[in-house]
Structures are given as structure tokens and as C-alpha cells.
């Protein structure tokens, strides 16, 4: 998944740091304009080419640690004191197993390269707009669900919990809330603007799943939506294993993808706009805009959906940091 990642020298992972708070907004989706990053040399493509149907994905096998740090330096959009904002390259995982090349694994080298010396970088992340397989029943609303994280067959998966008890909450179940708004519809899909009001792993993916509209490229949870005679329903989460997302033939034709290419479809969930408070007291808030990944723009083009506008106040998926993002 592409989009913005915010790094701060004194922020612990999932812990609130000084001067970081949600920015109030009348609509919940917009404040003042600020910075915008434009991709270099990227173009929308109407058709996939060969075995690389999704342009812009980072090929980690071709990079060493030093080369990855150089890539991340080039992706830095804004740096003010302890706050570094970068557009994380597509295909780079945030975390992974010991010894794997990830964003977190090279943060010490990136900190040195940016002149932060011994100051530690940590990651804060959020998500914004999504293309969904299916159209929500209502044009906008809120999604509330109690979620828990379970280790199933060696994989951490998020499971909805119906009617959770007090004991459930003591054991890690959390109430979650997201707002959504359908921006456009076409070819049985929707472009949806999302704003999480809480933070939980895979929250937005699971919330859209509960609307029977899995995110395109969701190979972890989309199998939980079944179809009988054209009607969608939820399968039991506890007994449904992750599998590659299966798209119907009409949608594959519209996306100009073969079934094998669709099995590699990246997750179409992108943080397009992020609002941050000023680093210092009385400093104006910042609005940070990230361009769509090439594969995301290509999908919108194939589906006849409008691309997200850039640089306009309150339009295109403004995202305030959830109030408990770092808890």
C-alpha cells in the first residue's frame, strides 16, 4: 500500500508523542492546504505489460540497505524538527521478520542520513481512500465493530466479535469506528473515502468487508464474503482462511487482467491526504497530499471512476490522525 508515513524522533510505536493530536475539522475531512508531492516520470497505463501489470511497485530483491536508504531519502516530502514525512515506496513492508529488508529495519540508517544523529525515528501510519469490489448500500455513514487479533495458522488475522463481554475487552478486544463516503461508482465498484476514528490493525479492510465490499487487492480478508444467486453474505471469520481475491470475469475484463495477474493485485487502499498540527505552538496546520500510485490511477481509469483531485481544500480524502492512533 502506498501513501504517507509520518516519522517522529521521540514517538514510541503506537504511543502518543508530544505535540501530536487530532486536528479538529468541521466536516472531519479537511483543513488548510500545505504540501504536495508529485511522482517523477509516472504515467497512467491503460493495460498491463507482461508479468509486471502494476507499475510503481518497489522491487526489493534489487536493493541493498544502502540503496533502500537512498530511495527513502528521495521519498522525503517534508522535514521539520522531529517530524519527517515521506511517501513510502509501494512494495516496501513496514515491518517483517528479523533480517528482512523493511522500513523499520533501516530507520537507524535513515535517521543518520537525514542528520538526526542519535535521535530515534518511529512510524505512525494511517489510511484513506479505497477502491472496493462492490458498492456500499448507503452513500455515507459510519461503521462500528468490536475487533480482536488472533494468530491463525501462523498468521495474525483480525476477527469481528459480536456482543463482546467485559472479559473480551480485558483480553484485547477493541471497539472500532470509521466514517465512510462513496465518492463515485462504476462497473460494480466504488471509490470510497474513509476516515478511521480509532486505530486497529487492518481496521479499514475489515470495516469495508462488513459492508460486503472488500477492498480490491485484499488477499487477506476478501474470502470472508460469499455469494449465492448474486447475493453477498459474510462467512464465519474463524473458519475462513485467507486466499487470493477472486474477481468475476466481467471485472477482470474491465481491468484488463488475467486471473493470474489479479492474484497479484496490490491493495487499493491509499492515504491521499493527511492533516497534521503545526510542530510549534501557533504554527498553522499542514495538509499533506500524496499522489495516487500508478496502479491505483490505472484501476480508476479502467473502471471509469474519476481520479482524486489534488490541492483543493476539503476534497479528496482529508485524513486527521485518529485520536488514539498511537495508543
State the pLDDT at residue 62: 81
State the pLDDT at residue 31: 27
State the pLDDT at residue 309: 57
State the pLDDT at residue 17: 28
State the pLDDT at residue 137: 95
Return averaged pLDDT per consecutive 10 residues of the chain, 327 residues in all: 40 26 29 36 41 71 90 84 78 84 91 84 76 95 96 88 94 96 95 92 95 96 94 93 94 94 92 76 80 88 83 36 40
Question: Within 10 Å of residue 209's Cβ, how many Cβ atoms?
Answer: 27
Q: Exposed, middle or buried: residue 291 (CB in 10 Å: 0-12, 13-18, 19+)?
A: buried
What does each C-alpha distance from 121 to 8, 13, 17, 153, 219 come to in angstroms? 5, 9, 12, 32, 30
Distance, in Å, from the CA atom of 148 to the CA atom of 309, rounded to the nearest integer, reads: 35
What pTM was estimated for this model as a whole? 0.74
| Cβ pair 267, 1 in contact under 8 A | yes
| Cβ pair 85, 76 in contact under 8 A | yes
Amino acid at each position: 500500500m502506498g501513501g504517507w508515513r509520518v516519522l517522529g524522533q521521540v514517538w514510541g510505536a503506537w504511543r502518543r508523542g508530544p505535540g501530536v493530536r487530532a486536528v479538529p475539522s468541521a466536516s472531519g475531512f479537511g483543513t488548510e492546504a500545505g504540501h504536495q508531492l508529485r511522482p517523477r516520470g509516472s504515467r497512467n497505463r491503460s493495460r498491463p505489460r507482461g508479468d509486471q501489470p502494476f507499475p510503481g511497485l518497489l522491487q526489493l530483491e534489487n536493493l541493498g540497505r544502502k540503496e533502500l536508504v537512498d530511495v527513502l531519502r528521495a521519498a522525503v516530502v517534508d522535514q521539520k524538527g522531529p517530524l519527517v514525512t515521506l511517501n513510502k515506496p509501494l512494495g516496501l513492508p513496514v515491518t517483517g521478520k528479523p533480517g528482512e529488508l523493511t522500513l523499520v529495519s533501516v530507520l537507524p540508517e535513515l535517521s543518520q542520513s537525514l542528520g538526526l544523529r542519535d535521535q530515534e525515528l518511529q512510524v505512525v501510519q494511517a489510511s484513506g481512500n479505497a477502491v472496493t469490489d462492490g458498492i456500499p448500500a448507503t452513500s455515507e455513514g459510519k461503521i462500528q465493530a468490536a475487533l480482536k487479533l488472533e494468530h491463525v495458522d501462523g498468521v495474525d488475522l483480525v476477527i469481528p466479535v459480536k456482543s463482546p463481554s467485559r472479559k473480551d475487552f480485558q483480553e484485547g478486544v477493541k471497539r472500532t469506528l470509521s466514517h465512510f463516503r462513496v465518492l463515485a461508482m462504476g462497473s460494480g465498484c466504488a471509490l470510497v473515502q474513509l476516515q478511521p476514528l480509532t486505530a486497529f490493525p487492518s481496521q479499514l479492510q475489515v470495516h469495508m468487508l462488513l459492508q460486503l465490499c472488500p477492498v480490491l487487492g485484499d488477499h487477506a480478508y476478501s474470502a470472508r464474503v460469499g455469494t449465492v444467486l448474486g447475493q453477498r453474505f459474510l462467512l464465519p471469520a474463524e473458519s475462513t482462511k485467507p486466499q487470493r481475491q477472486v474477481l468475476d470475469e466481467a471485472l477482470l475484463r474491465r481491468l484488463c487482467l488475467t486471473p493470474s495477474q489479479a492474484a497479484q493485485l496490490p491493495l487499493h487502499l491509499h492515504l491521499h491526504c493527511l492533516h497534521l498540527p503545526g510542530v510549534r505552538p501557533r504554527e498553522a496546520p499542514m495538509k499533506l497530499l500524496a499522489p495516487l500510485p500508478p496502479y491505483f490511477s490505472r484501476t480508476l481509469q479502467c473502471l471509469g471512476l474519476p481520479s482524486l483531485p489534488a490541492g483543493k481544500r476539503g476534497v479528496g480524502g482529508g485524513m486527521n490522525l485518529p485520536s488514539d492512533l498511537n495508543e
